[in-house]
Amino acid sequence: MKEYRRKRASPEKAVELLQDGDHIVHGVTIAEPPALLRAIADRARAGDIKKVFIYSFNPQQHAAETYLALDIQDRIFARSWFLGPSARKLAAVGLVQFIPSYLHQIPKFLRENMTVDVCVTTVSPMDKAGFFSFGTANDLTSTAALLARTLIVEVNRNMPRVFGNSMVHISEVDAVVENHVPLMQMAPPEPRELDAVIGRHISEIVPDHAVLQLGIGGLPNAICPFLENHKDLGIHSELFGPGMKDLIVKGVITGRKKTLHPRKHVFSVAYGTDDTFAFMNDNPSMTSFPADYVMDPAVIAQNDNMVSVNSIIQVDLTGQCNAEYLAGHMFSGTGGQLDFVRGAYAAKNGKSVLAFYSTAKNDTVSRVVPFLDKNAAVTTPRMDVQYLCTEYGLVNLKNMAEDERALAIIGIAHPRFREDLAHQAEKMRII
């Protein structure tokens, strides 16, 4: 506590530790530190810093309200490994630069391909042994924190204390700022009518004792209500969210049959609302690790009966999938999708599912296309795709010939587009 008191500072005083030219990494999603990010933006606005680089993953509300402000973009240069709503428009005009990456490789980038000068992140209060917890954000944050020349933590009593490889000691911290504000609330999107249809399809291939990974967005979360009659499910997931929490409370997810970390709910980033954070707090079953462990395909594959569920934007007739580009612009990023597609399929009795709505824009645009859109990225190559699922069914492409794959994909497209897709497949000499 003597060391804690010595290092305690106001946000304005703490960010005086920043220097021009610094490369700064901040906590992800719920762990964005609002007071510290605002103090950094204020220093830039006052002209005290002329040029710094800030790195994030899926920047959220606090980033948007502080260092992403338009009036300081000539002094703060933003980089992101994943684009969310706060950064998409800025990225489209070059004010946020996207860094292509697999999520499990980002800690390696930090260690070997850049210098982390400063890390700022929200943490839970210090415990009696002198440790803070990274709480909802381990991912790349813990790696950046331990590499940084300067580590500044924003202590918030509302941040859950989480176990696993998720701690940093007061002796490793350079400045402590206290800011006990409500945590950002990130509820899942309101379910759409088709989510139930797709969720039911996927639930039918999930066995008892399966280990789940559920990706970002409404569709992966839609599976949760249809798993309530399953037994002894487990979690090894990039994201932990409200649907998973509900299944733990109902006794569906126990982790008892896991082959890796039995009885532990393994994750790297959490989202949700206060009830999810309260459930996580001081809960020894909640176990957080960095991205280079949780999202490493070789680690994922150690979970027997691994089932990953992620969403995509488009699939073409060869089976290659785009989850990153929309209307010719970067929309999100690869994140951990391909990591889990590969890891889940490599697991004993593992399955990977890529789910999507068959159409967009009120059924006027097919998401099954002959070719991916111009400039679109291939997030998951055709060789890696296993299950595809829409409201019209679920198909397993593994070991299918090209003509069989195309016909299977056409079969889960919206009926109004199937005839044209079949003609296009003929022109492409696939069928």
Condensed to tens digits (0 to 9), the pLDDT of residues 342-351 reads 999 999 999 9
Domains and CATH numbers, the chain: 2-178 (3.40.1080.10), 193-427 (3.40.1080.20)
pLDDT in tens, 336-384: 999 999 999 999 999 999 999 999 999 999 999 999 988 889 999 999 9
Q: What are the phi and psi torsion angles at 209 (to 5°)? A: 75, 5
Q: What percent of the chain has pLDDT over 70?
A: 100
Query: Both tokens of residue 160?
Result: 């859950």
List the Cα angle 382/384/389 in 5-degree steps.
75
In DSSP notation, 78-108 reads: EEESS--TTTHHHHHTTSEEE----GGGHHH
Per DSSP (E only), the strands in 359-405 are 359-360, 365-366, 368-369, 387-390, 393-396
- The larger pLDDT score, comparing residue 220 to residue 409, is at 409
Rounded Cα distance, 400 and 392, in Å: 19
Q: Does residue 314 contact residue 322 with C-beta atoms inside 8 Å?
A: yes
Residues 144-166 have a mean pLDDT of 97
Rounded Cα distance, 222 and 353, in Å: 13
DSSP 3-state assignment of 168?
A: strand
pLDDT in tens, 2-24: 999 999 999 999 999 999 999 99
Instruction: Identify which of 92, 46, 84 has the alpha carbon closest to the alpha carbon of residue 62.
Output: 84
Confidence of residue 405 (pLDDT cuts 50, 70, 90): very high
Q: What is the pLDDT at residue 328? A: 79
Residues 262-272 have a mean pLDDT of 97
Sign of CA dihedral 150, 156, 159, 163: positive
Q: What is the pLDDT at residue 368? A: 98
Q: Which helix (H) or strand (E) holds 77?
A: strand 76-80
For tokens 């899926």, name the residue: 58
- Residues 6 or more apart whose Cβ sits within 8 Å of residue 230: 203, 206, 207, 208, 210, 252
**Catalytic-residue membership of 204:** no
DSSP 3-state assignment of 165?
A: coil
The Cα-based distances of 24 to 115, 223, 370 in angstroms read: 9, 37, 42
Residue 424: pLDDT above 90?
yes
β-bridge mates for residue 154, sequence order: 122, 177
Residues 203-229 have a mean pLDDT of 92
What angle in degrees, to the nearest 10, is found between the helix axes of 415-427 and 402-411?
160
Rounded Cα distance, 303 and 330, in Å: 33
For tokens 């789910």, name the residue: 355
Q: Does residue 303 contact residue 260 with C-beta atoms inside 8 Å?
A: yes
**Catalytically annotated residue among 32, 65, 178, 238:** 238
DSSP 3-state assignment of 299?
A: helix
The Cα-based distances of 112 to 68, 182, 357 in angstroms read: 27, 36, 39
Q: Which helix (H) or strand (E) holds 406?
A: helix 402-411
β-bridge mates for residue 122, sequence order: 154
Instruction: Identify which of 237, 243, 388, 387 has the alpha carbon closest to the alpha carbon of residue 314.
Output: 388
Confidence of residue 392 (pLDDT cuts 50, 70, 90): very high
